[in-house]
Amino acid sequence: MKQITELVDRQMREWEMRRERPHPQSKRGPVICVSRDLGAGGRSVAIKLAEKLGLDLMGKDIIDSIAEDLHQQRRMVDILDERGKETLERWVDGYLHGAPIEYDEYAKALIKVIRASAIHGNILFLGRGANWVLGVEEAFCIRIVAPLERRVKQVMEYHSASKEEAAQMIRETDAQRTEFVKKVFHRDHNDPSAYHLTLNCGVFSDEQAIEIIRKAMTIHGVLNDETPMSA
């Protein structure tokens, strides 16, 4: 828990420093959402992609930590400039009155955190339904999948689990994620139209997957050919 708190504080400080640095002509950096199946290798691809593009990485632990902490939520919104605050307030208000979302307190906080983070730009969301919050109009959305056999093998290695245990973890996680998206966003977790790109990482290495993503983002206009990629 201490580590997560430190990560949240570090992220908040970074946003505060960006706000204080005047860049009137600067363009907001890319916003990427990565959805992945357990054991498909999406976490590894997301981490490496964020490092290469110099993006902040927002995963489940950080998003949930902020969503559950009202103080951090207020601090996040306060970091936005006035225009950003107005945009967020209009968007949330519009969603409350029209979008097909089941708004318990956690869902409200989750969506507020994702929307406020996206306003800052230069960020990669890993999971937590960020692609459903932002959509393909406001973020570049990627889905990472892999054959079941590979997923089982990956989970066995990562969790030191037996084949049966790994298969059960995958079944349970798939069911939970499907239910989460259905309950909160009333959408189908596997709807291909919700993503710009779906990658089978059972046939591509992490490096190949990152290169495919980079090219797709360049074609889409999210990146340009001069966008630097870290080694």
Residue 24's pLDDT band, with cuts at 50, 70 and 90, is very low
Q: Which secondary structure element, helix H or strand E, spans residue 142, and what is its range?
A: strand 140-145
Residue 20 maps to a domain:
no
Q: Write out the two tokens for 14.
A: 């970074």
Indicate which CATH number applies to the domain containing 130: 3.40.50.300
Residue 15 maps to a domain:
no
Residue 73 maps to a domain:
yes
Residue 24 maps to a domain:
no
Angstrom distance (rounded) from CA 142 to CA 197:
5
Residue 140 maps to a domain:
yes
pLDDT at 6 over 90: no
pLDDT at 188 over 80: yes
Looking at the 3D structure of the chain, how many domains does it have? 1
Q: What is the reported pTM?
A: 0.78
Residue 95 maps to a domain:
yes
Burial class (CB in 10 A: 0-12, 13-18, 19+), 41: buried
Angstrom distance (rounded) from CA 197 to CA 181:
19
List the domain range (segments joined by +) for residue 125. Answer: 2-8+30-217
Angstrom distance (rounded) from CA 25 to CA 138:
20
Residue 22 maps to a domain:
no
